[in-house]
Amino acid sequence: MFWRSVVGKLAVTIMLLVSFVLFVLTIFLLEFFENFHIQEAEEDLAQTAIKLSVMVENHEDNSLIYETTDRVKDPQSKVLIVFSDGTTWASDTEDVELSNLNEEWFMDNSAISEVLTNTEPVKKQIQIPNQDLGVMLVGISVPNTDAAVLVYQSLSVVDKTKSETTKIILGAAGVAIVLTTIFAFFLSTRITSPLIKMREAAFDLTRGEFNTKVPILTHDEIGELAMAFNHMGRQLKFHINALRQEKEQLSSIVNSMADGVITLSRNGDIIATNGPAERFIEDWYFEKNIVQSDGKQKLPNELYELLQAVIDGEKEVLEEISIQGRTWVMIMTPLYDQAYIRGAVAVMRDMTEERRLDKLRKDFIANVSHELRTPISMLQGYSEAIVDDIAESKEEKNELAQIIYEESLRLSRLVNELLDLASMEAGHLSLKLEKVEITPYVERIYRKFKGIADENEIEFMLVNNITESYACFDPDRMEQVFTNLIDNAIRHTNQGGFVKVHVHNDPAAFEVSIEDSGSGIPEDDLPFVFERFYKADKSRTRQKHVKGTGLGLSIAKNIVTSHNGTITVKSKLQVGTTFHFKLPQNKES
């Protein structure tokens, strides 16, 4: 509204101030001019009375006195001369009211005697009884005689003059108020226009438009204020840009962290998180079967208890949490607002891989010891049986020798696989890349396992989808991959089952899928099948007498990875397993 604006307030203030001053000044002027007009009228009447008294004193010719009186006096006034002999004479006047006034009233009134007894002029304002007429009277006695001269006029003449003066003063005051109003609006608008622009610029600043500038129209305090406002806008832009850069830098650092970070308020509200922390919370609620109805993430109760422990103890808390088969270590540290704890920040690290590697390091020695102990024990036992002549017949000795030979081969294979795996993981695997014709290569491998599959009454199939005849890879190493995967598929497939080898080769990649209808791999074991010495449930092996070392899939993965390829596995219990590897084409020029 106008009255609430600075323009309205300033304009009204100026108008009220000027109006008050004009009001007081008008009252004083009216009072002054009223007294002034009365004094002027009295002075005029006194001057006329003095002149006429001199004539009465110095001249005896009454006709001359009468003629001179008519010339000297004001037409609106009237003169009453009282001669020494008691006779009186009254002049004519244009004032009708005065002309109707009987002069005998003055004779009966004490005015004559008062004039005769005073040497100084007598000035009086008399209200005529029973008449709405006021008279201004000035009387003077003639020196050395009993004569007197009275000059009087109606107060309406003075009132009329006062009325005209009042109109002039009030008109001037009205003009002054109008001019003041115009000036007040002009001045307030001129003063407040930069302020309005500053207000609009301030609103722009609140919307983030920091390039807004206020025009500098004057070089006074308002101009300096505009300069300071523009400088403030530049400084705000600089500092907010700096804060935004720091925020983006901090956000990038937090989001790029492998550790989860959660910022919490004092009452447990989640203020900020990064990707790993969000996945941690989602896994937590998934495992606890908790559904967020409002769509807003809330802090789990267990973490809220940790938050309260941090706030109450004013120190960081370390906790290890297991969620969805993964191990997390959480450190929650208080956040201070000076001496007041305003919340906490929790950093969570996924220690699953570290725990697994620790377990692998511990299991490696046990696995190697276990795998070496069995063939060594058998070699030692059967060799002692031969030495001690426990085997009497040649057939028995040959059977023991055959077992010793097979165990030595197994021991040699285990050692070679360990050496190969160590060489691969150390990055010392050297590939002999060749341009291999795919069709005869895979058919040779197919024929290699066809007999074994037929012996075990397993349907063995090869499905080719070859649009590109050649692919570039190390044929010996890739045959090792085929051998490990197909051998595993046959060993874990029951009679009447099937093993399918799907081969696809195009200009982009060489892909192979080995599918079986075997016993499958448990879901818990799937993430670890490519780890060395890892074996799923041994009871799933169909050929109990054929024992693996637990290194084949690990070697296969290292060979495929060395070719810049990928290998994956999908499996369901009692349905089957499918291994799939893909090598990008890297043809030699």
Determine the average pLDDT of the residues in 241-251: 83
Q: Is the dihedral of CA 558, 563, 565, 571 positive or negative?
A: negative
Asked whether 214 and 194 are in contact (CB, 8 A), the reply is: yes
Span 444-451, mean pLDDT?
A: 88
Distance from C-alpha of 431 to C-alpha of 68, rounded to nearest angstrom: 153
Owner of token pair 């002549």:
389
Helix (H, G, I), strand (E, B) or coil at 492: coil
Mean pLDDT over 162-177 rounds to 85
CATH 3.30.450.20 residue ranges of the chain are 6-163, 257-350
Please report the pLDDT score of residue 539 as a whole number: 41
For residue 358, name the pLDDT band (cuts at 50, 70, 90): confident
The CB-side HSE value for 115 (13 A sphere, CA atoms) comes to 31
Whether 552 and 440 have beta carbons less than 8 Å apart is answered as no
Contact 75, 96 (CB under 8 A): no
Q: Which CATH architecture has domain 434-584?
A: 2-Layer Sandwich (3.30)
Q: How confident is the model at residue 297 (pLDDT cuts 50, 70, 90)?
A: low
3-state class of 502 per DSSP?
Answer: strand
CATH 3.30.565.10: which residues of the chain? 434-584
Domain with CATH 1.10.287.130 in the chain: 355-425
Out of 164-168, 245-249, 438-442, 478-482, give the one with best mean pLDDT.
438-442
Query: Per-residue pLDDT for 582 more than 90?
Result: yes
* pLDDT, averaged across the chain: 79
Q: How confident is the model at residue 546 (pLDDT cuts 50, 70, 90)?
A: very low
Q: What is the mean pLDDT of residues 298-313?
A: 82
The CA distances from residue 24 to 15, 139, 288, 314, 532, in Å, are: 14, 36, 86, 72, 109
For domain 6-163, the CATH superfamily is PAS domain (3.30.450.20)
Is residue 498 scored above 90 in pLDDT?
Answer: yes
Percent of the chain whose pLDDT exceeds 70: 84
Helix, strand, or coil here: 291?
A: coil
**Interatomic CA distance for residues 239 and 433, integer angstroms:** 59
Q: What is the predicted pLDDT for the residue at 541?
A: 44
- Beta strands across the sheet bearing 270-273: 270-273, 260-265, 340-350, 326-337, 317-323
Q: At what angle do helices 62-72 and 6-58 cross, to 10 degrees?
A: 170
Residues 232-258: what's their mean pLDDT? 82
Name the more confident of 331 and 546.
331
For 57, other C-beta atoms within 10 Å of its C-beta total: 14
Note whether 485 and 556 are within 8 A (CB): yes
Q: Report the amino acid identity of residue 319.
A: E
Q: What angle do CA 57, 59, 63 make, to 5 degrees?
A: 125
What integer pLDDT is reported at residue 543 of this predicted model? 45
Whole-angstrom Cα distance, residue 253 to residue 271? Answer: 17
CB crowding 360-387: b at 16 or more within 10 Å, else e: beebeeebbeebeeebeebbeebeebee
Gyration radius of the chain's alpha carbons: 63
Q: Is 501 helix (H, G, I), strand (E, B) or coil?
A: strand
Backbone φ/ψ region at 366: left (φ over 0), alpha (ψ -120 to 50), beta: alpha
Query: 257-350 has which fold?
Result: Beta-Lactamase (3.30.450)
Residues 477-491: pLDDT tens digits? 888 889 889 988 998
pTM (predicted TM-score) = 0.39
> 120-129, 138-147, 470-479, 563-572 — which is least confidently predicted?
120-129
How far apart CA 567 and CA 513 sit, in angstroms, is: 10
pLDDT surpasses 90 at 227: no
> Which pLDDT score, from 0 to 100, does residue 512 have?
94
Which of 164-173, 256-265, 501-510 is the most confident on average? 501-510
CATH number of 355-425: 1.10.287.130
**498 token code pair:** 């099937």
Is the pLDDT score of 75 beyond 50?
Answer: yes
pLDDT tens per residue, range 118-142: 777 888 777 776 666 777 788 888 8
